[in-house]
């Protein structure tokens, strides 16, 4: 990865409360579009490799491209209702 792609500009956004309290600010790193595209392609490739090679459990539903989190939420809700 080129060094220029690793650079980011950090911007502080005030959340709420006293502006003099550093805990009331949220940092956000702004990066170039090419860096975001590169990272997106890399994540897609690694995720595909991990799912195909079964490095990720079939039980993993969150943060995956396939639907399944709703099924886990439904199962949890049914268990709670039955309890």
Model confidence pLDDT, tens digit, residues 1-22 = 888 888 999 999 999 999 999 9
pTM of the prediction? 0.56
* Closest listed residue to residue 41, CA positions, set 4, 74, 5, 70: 5
Backbone dihedral region of 30: left (phi > 0), alpha (psi from -120 to 50 degrees) or beta?
beta
Q: Residue 47 — very low, low, confident or very high, per pLDDT cuts 50/70/90?
A: confident
DSSP tag of 71: H
pLDDT score at 1: 82
Domain ranges (residues) in the chain = 3-82
């Amino acid at each position: 990865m080129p060094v220029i792609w690793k650079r980011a500009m950090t911007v502080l956004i005030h959340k709420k409360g006293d502006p003099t309290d550093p805990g009331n600010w949220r940092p956000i790193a702004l990066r170039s579009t090419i860096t975001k595209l590169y990272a997106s392609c890399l994540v897609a490739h690694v995720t595909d490799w991990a799912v195909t090679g079964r490095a990720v459990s079939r039980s993993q539903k969150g943060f995956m491209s396939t639907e399944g989190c709703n099924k886990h939420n439904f199962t949890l809700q049914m268990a709670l209702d039955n309890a």
